[in-house]
Protein backbone atom coordinates (compact mmCIF):
# COMPACT_ATOMS: atom_id res chain seq x y z
CA UNK A 1 0.00 0.00 0.00
CA UNK A 2 1.60 3.19 -1.08
CA UNK A 3 0.84 6.54 0.43
CA UNK A 4 0.19 9.38 -1.90
CA UNK A 5 1.89 12.24 -0.03
CA UNK A 6 2.62 14.97 -2.50
CA UNK A 7 4.83 17.93 -1.83
CA UNK A 8 2.04 20.41 -2.47
CA UNK A 9 -0.03 21.35 0.56
CA UNK A 10 -3.75 20.78 0.54
CA UNK A 11 -5.63 23.74 -0.89
CA UNK A 12 -6.59 26.37 1.67
CA UNK A 13 -3.64 25.70 4.01
CA UNK A 14 -1.54 28.84 4.33
CA UNK A 15 2.21 28.64 4.26
CA UNK A 16 4.33 29.74 7.22
CA UNK A 17 5.25 32.82 5.17
CA UNK A 18 1.55 33.59 4.68
CA UNK A 19 0.97 33.33 8.44
CA UNK A 20 3.92 35.62 9.20
CA UNK A 21 2.64 38.16 6.67
CA UNK A 22 -0.87 38.00 8.18
CA UNK A 23 0.55 38.51 11.66
CA UNK A 24 2.67 41.44 10.51
CA UNK A 25 -0.35 43.03 8.78
CA UNK A 26 -2.39 42.63 11.95
CA UNK A 27 0.40 44.20 14.03
CA UNK A 28 0.70 47.11 11.59
CA UNK A 29 -3.07 47.69 11.71
CA UNK A 30 -2.97 47.67 15.52
CA UNK A 31 -0.07 50.15 15.53
CA UNK A 32 -1.97 52.41 13.12
CA UNK A 33 -5.09 52.19 15.30
CA UNK A 34 -3.08 53.10 18.42
CA UNK A 35 -1.36 55.99 16.60
CA UNK A 36 -4.72 57.33 15.46
CA UNK A 37 -6.15 57.05 18.99
CA UNK A 38 -3.05 58.77 20.43
CA UNK A 39 -3.34 61.58 17.87
CA UNK A 40 -7.03 62.05 18.69
CA UNK A 41 -6.24 62.09 22.42
CA UNK A 42 -3.46 64.63 21.90
CA UNK A 43 -5.76 66.81 19.80
CA UNK A 44 -8.45 66.62 22.49
CA UNK A 45 -5.90 67.47 25.19
CA UNK A 46 -4.59 70.41 23.15
CA UNK A 47 -8.12 71.74 22.60
CA UNK A 48 -8.87 71.37 26.33
CA UNK A 49 -5.72 73.30 27.25
CA UNK A 50 -6.52 76.07 24.77
CA UNK A 51 -10.08 76.41 26.08
CA UNK A 52 -8.90 76.12 29.69
CA UNK A 53 -6.42 78.96 29.26
CA UNK A 54 -8.42 81.29 27.00
CA UNK A 55 -12.14 80.80 27.64
CA UNK A 56 -14.36 81.48 30.61
CA UNK A 57 -16.19 78.91 32.72
CA UNK A 58 -19.40 78.15 30.85
CA UNK A 59 -22.91 77.93 32.22
CA UNK A 60 -22.82 74.24 31.27
CA UNK A 61 -19.75 73.77 33.51
CA UNK A 62 -21.42 75.65 36.39
CA UNK A 63 -24.52 73.46 35.98
CA UNK A 64 -22.32 70.35 36.08
CA UNK A 65 -20.66 71.58 39.27
CA UNK A 66 -24.07 72.14 40.90
CA UNK A 67 -25.14 68.65 39.81
CA UNK A 68 -21.95 67.11 41.26
CA UNK A 69 -22.58 68.85 44.57
CA UNK A 70 -26.22 67.78 44.71
CA UNK A 71 -25.31 64.17 43.85
CA UNK A 72 -22.73 64.20 46.65
CA UNK A 73 -25.38 65.49 49.07
CA UNK A 74 -27.78 62.73 47.94
CA UNK A 75 -24.98 60.23 48.65
CA UNK A 76 -24.50 61.66 52.14
CA UNK A 77 -21.13 63.27 51.37
CA UNK A 78 -19.85 66.59 52.65
CA UNK A 79 -17.46 67.16 49.76
CA UNK A 80 -17.36 66.81 45.99
CA UNK A 81 -14.62 67.04 43.40
CA UNK A 82 -16.04 69.78 41.21
CA UNK A 83 -13.25 70.27 38.68
CA UNK A 84 -10.03 68.68 37.50
CA UNK A 85 -7.27 69.76 35.16
CA UNK A 86 -3.66 68.86 34.36
CA UNK A 87 -1.21 69.98 37.07
CA UNK A 88 1.08 71.28 34.34
CA UNK A 89 -1.43 74.11 33.87
CA UNK A 90 -0.45 75.54 37.25
CA UNK A 91 2.39 78.03 37.10
CA UNK A 92 4.56 75.64 39.14
CA UNK A 93 3.38 72.35 37.64
CA UNK A 94 1.32 71.57 40.75
CA UNK A 95 4.17 71.67 43.29
CA UNK A 96 2.45 74.07 45.71
CA UNK A 97 -0.70 71.96 45.70
CA UNK A 98 1.28 68.76 46.15
CA UNK A 99 3.23 70.25 49.06
CA UNK A 100 0.21 71.74 50.81
CA UNK A 101 1.52 75.27 50.39
CA UNK A 102 -1.13 77.76 51.54
CA UNK A 103 -0.28 79.96 48.54
CA UNK A 104 -1.44 77.30 46.05
CA UNK A 105 -4.26 79.50 44.71
CA UNK A 106 -1.66 81.92 43.32
CA UNK A 107 -0.44 79.16 40.97
CA UNK A 108 -3.83 78.72 39.29
CA UNK A 109 -4.40 79.90 35.75
CA UNK A 110 -7.24 79.96 33.26
CA UNK A 111 -10.55 78.44 34.25
CA UNK A 112 -9.16 77.12 37.53
CA UNK A 113 -8.25 80.66 38.56
CA UNK A 114 -11.68 81.88 37.52
CA UNK A 115 -13.35 79.11 39.54
CA UNK A 116 -11.22 79.98 42.56
CA UNK A 117 -12.12 83.67 42.27
CA UNK A 118 -15.80 82.72 41.99
CA UNK A 119 -15.41 80.55 45.10
CA UNK A 120 -13.78 83.44 47.00
CA UNK A 121 -16.54 85.85 45.98
CA UNK A 122 -19.64 83.68 46.36
CA UNK A 123 -19.11 80.27 47.98
CA UNK A 124 -16.60 81.04 50.74
CA UNK A 125 -18.82 83.75 52.30
CA UNK A 126 -21.60 81.12 52.41
CA UNK A 127 -19.46 78.73 54.48
CA UNK A 128 -17.96 76.55 51.76
CA UNK A 129 -14.31 75.56 51.66
CA UNK A 130 -12.24 74.69 48.62
CA UNK A 131 -9.17 72.53 48.56
CA UNK A 132 -6.93 71.35 45.77
CA UNK A 133 -5.15 68.00 45.62
CA UNK A 134 -3.09 66.09 43.12
CA UNK A 135 -5.35 63.17 42.23
CA UNK A 136 -2.93 61.01 40.24
CA UNK A 137 0.80 60.61 39.72
CA UNK A 138 1.68 59.20 36.30
CA UNK A 139 5.38 58.35 36.18
CA UNK A 140 5.58 59.55 39.82
CA UNK A 141 4.93 63.15 38.76
CA UNK A 142 1.86 65.29 39.57
CA UNK A 143 -0.73 64.44 36.94
CA UNK A 144 -4.10 66.07 37.54
CA UNK A 145 -5.38 68.52 40.11
CA UNK A 146 -8.79 68.03 41.64
CA UNK A 147 -10.67 70.96 43.13
CA UNK A 148 -12.88 69.81 46.01
CA UNK A 149 -15.76 71.86 47.35
CA UNK A 150 -16.56 71.10 50.99
CA UNK A 151 -19.62 72.10 53.01
CA UNK A 152 -18.97 70.17 56.24
CA UNK A 153 -19.02 72.02 59.55
CA UNK A 154 -15.67 73.62 60.33
CA UNK A 155 -14.58 70.95 62.83
CA UNK A 156 -16.08 67.93 61.09
For the chain, the average pLDDT equals: 92
Beta-strand relationship, 129-134 and 79-86: unpaired
pLDDT in tens, 18-27: 999 999 999 9
Report the Cα 89 to chain-centroid distance in Å: 13
pLDDT in tens, 79-107: 999 999 999 999 999 999 999 999 999 99
DSSP class of residue 125?
G
Would you place residue 45 in the very low, low, confident or very high pLDDT band (cuts 50, 70, 90)? confident
Q: Is 146 helix (H, G, I), strand (E, B) or coil?
A: strand
- In the β-sheet with 79-86, what is the strand arrangement from edge to edge? 79-86, 144-150, 129-134
Judge whether residue 154 has pLDDT over 90: no
Instruction: Give pLDDT, residue 12.
Output: 82
d(Cα 118, Cα 116) in Å, to the nearest integer? Answer: 5
d(Cα 30, Cα 33) in Å, to the nearest integer? Answer: 5
Average pLDDT over residues 131-137: 97
Instruction: Give pLDDT, residue 3.
Output: 56
Judge whether residue 4 has pLDDT over 70: no
d(Cα 112, Cα 57) in Å, to the nearest integer? Answer: 9
Amino acid sequence: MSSDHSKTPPSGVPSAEDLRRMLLEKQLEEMARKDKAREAEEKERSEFITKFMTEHVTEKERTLIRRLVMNAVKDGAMEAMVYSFPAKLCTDGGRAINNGDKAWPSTLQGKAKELYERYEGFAKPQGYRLKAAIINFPDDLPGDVGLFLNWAPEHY
